[in-house]
Structure 1
Amino acid sequence: MNPPEEYINNNSGELVKGGTHQLSNNGVSESGNLDKVRELLFGNQTREVEKRFTRLEERLVKELTNIKDETRKRLDSLENYIKKEVESLTERLKNEQSERDVKMRSLTEEQRNVTISLEKKITQLDEQTTNSQRELREQILNQSKNLQDDIQKKYDEILTLLERETQELHRNKTDRSHLAVLFTDLAIRLNTDHKS
């Protein structure tokens, strides 16, 4: 079935309503002309830029390859150096250990006995130190308890003395009041006797 007359095929398979978005043959040729003008004006520059980018990319790839190769060589060299150093150190340690073993074997029986005796003395000294420390801790603990008992006893004595002095002060105060009453009574009598 054919589309109605107001629809026109626009060369891209779309049906466009006539009069609104209709593309003319003139518009297509203008677009082609614009591409030609662009090619004339900027074509050489675009191609030159693309060539430069390509050369730059090739140079970067080459530089990266060179850096990789140089780094690999240096790492290999460093690895070989480290291996040689480790081997040298290992050999020196083995030699020193062998020398020590030889020296130990060459010790006389007397030297071995001296070494054993020294080890025993060190062990005894260690035990004595441990015992002394334990005894010292016990003494400090006992003295601390005794001191605490003495302090408590002194505190109780001072408290008792204070209570006694407080009671004495109260008694003395009461005696003064009684004495004041007596003086007042005496003054009244004297005054009465004097008026008579």
Structure 2
Amino acid sequence: MNPKENIHPIEAPAGLRERKKRLAQAAIEEAALRLFQQKGYEQTSIQDIADAVTMSSRTFFRYYASKEEVLSGPIRSTQLDGIRFLQEEAPPASPHAALRSVFSYLAGQYQQQRPGLLLRYRIAGQTPSIASLFLYTLMETEPTLCHELSSRLESAVDRNEVRFLVAVYMAALRVSIEEWMEQEDGANLVDILYRHMDRLSSMPG
């Protein structure tokens, strides 16, 4: 037997692969946002973005499925972080307590991303075909959030009530983000959200 047949290629450690992936995604996002500002979102092609980071369009698709995903990626990622936060929390005392905790966490995460989110928000707002992109991205996680919250509450809790409360708190987050984006850089999203969530505390749940 040829000894070379027993030699296996050395694979990069998972941590290194993940780091390389994140660096590539960051480069793609930076180039895409620059091009969206210079040329306009609809006038920028995936090939334009790939050329800007010296990769093929085929390689681009290893990291993103579309231009829309490049634009909305941070929101989707943050929303998924919120679900993981709920999964790791101690069992909540009530739906309201759990939702206040999760959405406060989300607001804190978004607060740290303000410059990039503001740029993405403006690009989407100036492009009719994707004007509602951020709204849809926020709403995508509602079913999973409902499921996770219901599974961590007592079985006697009405799941339809949980679904309603999740939708209401999501609306409060959306309105808070829009208000926050329209204010000066010193605005605090967490404070704005708390003001809106306080209005919900009298609701049943």
TM-score in terms of structure 1 length:
0.16
Highest CA radius of gyration, 1 or 2? 1
Higher relative contact order (CA 8 A, sep 6+): 2
Structure holding more helix per residue: 1
